[in-house]
Structure 1
Amino acid sequence: MAPRNSGGNSKAPPPPVAAPPPVVFPPEASAPPGGWTTGLCGCFDNPLNCLITCFCPCITFGQNAEIIDRGGTSCACAGLTCCLIFHCFGCTYWYTCTYRTKLRGHHSIPGGECADCCLHYWCELCAICQEYRELKNRGFDPSIGWAANAERMSRPVGVTVPPSIPGGMVR
């Protein structure tokens, strides 16, 4: 048992906290240099995503936004914001096009803000689907969120993590 300090003001320093490992982004081997990996009208390359985006575009947009913002915006927050903007103003292109611009910036894809805005105005669902496919083709899986993607990418290549057994081994 440790001796008590009669002053009561001294406290032991907290233990050091280990920094999380840096996130290593996937190689972009499948991406052509300076371009999109799929066309704007390649929606049926991923039919499930096409259906989800057709009926609930805010879900796909939220998944994309979480990855594009590298976890700074949650899927739910971006999706609900998109939904709220749609119900209040009837259009979301001026919000969703900003994430296309960010995605292009992250991956050095040529284009401009005006083109992004026009594309989201006239072909918003196709643009959201293309952004989803682009993230998939560059090694991300928007459907599992940023945290799971970061954890998956921070593991060394070729190392398999064994499953944990709750409660340890018993006889």
Structure 2
Amino acid sequence: MSEKQPIISSQPGGYQQGPVVMVQPEFGSVQGKIIIPMTGNRDWSSGICDCMQDATNCVMVAFCAPCVQCQIATRMGENVCVPFCVPGAMIALRQRLRTLGGIQGTLCGDCLVFAVCGQCALCQMKREMDIMGIV
């Protein structure tokens, strides 16, 4: 019996007792695998070196980057401690922001941006969140 078909028996109600099996239509799938586009369709609203577009943001990152990391985490719906308790959390949050905003990029690119200039990456993320309206 195929695992995608519900189990039917002669008991009242027509179904066998036990776990309920729900079968969803295979929309956008190939042989049971869901296809999700992984590339965005736009660039960041501002460049990685455009920190001075928002001077307040730039000063805040320069003098209290941990505060900005906590702010970004909470605005993305995560716990305030995530940037300090989860290795690579800011890279994961950057990728999540890219996915939500439909921004082009790769995990490797996100890692390189944080390795070369993490403060610039924080500024860019905060600016993008402001533009996207993530509060």
TM-score by length of 2: 0.63
Q: 2:117 aligned with 1:109, yes or no?
A: no
RMSD of equivalent CA atoms: 1.9
Q: Distance in 1 between matches of 2:130 and 2:103?
A: 15
Give the Å deviation of 1:46. 1.2
Give the Å deviation of 1:116. 0.3
**Unpaired segments of 5 or more residues in structure 1?**
1-32, 86-91, 141-148, 150-171
Give the Å deviation of 1:78. 3.1
Q: Which residue among 118, 125, 129 is the counterpart of 1:124?
A: 118
Q: 2:59 aligned with 1:55, yes or no?
A: no
Q: Mapping of 1:67-78 within 5 angstroms?
A: 67-68=75-76, 71=77, 73-74=78-79, 76-78=80-82
Higher helix share: 1
Q: Distance in 2 between matches of 1:78 and 1:54?
A: 20
Aligned residues: 95
Letter in 2 for 1:111: G
SS at match of 1:63: helix
> What's the % identity of the aligned pairs?
31
**Unpaired segments of 5 or more residues in structure 2?**
1-40
Give the Å deviation of 1:95. 3.1
Q: Which runs of structure 1 show a deviation greater than 6 angstroms over 4 or more consecutive aligned residues?
A: none
Q: Distance in 1 between matches of 2:102 and 2:75?
A: 16
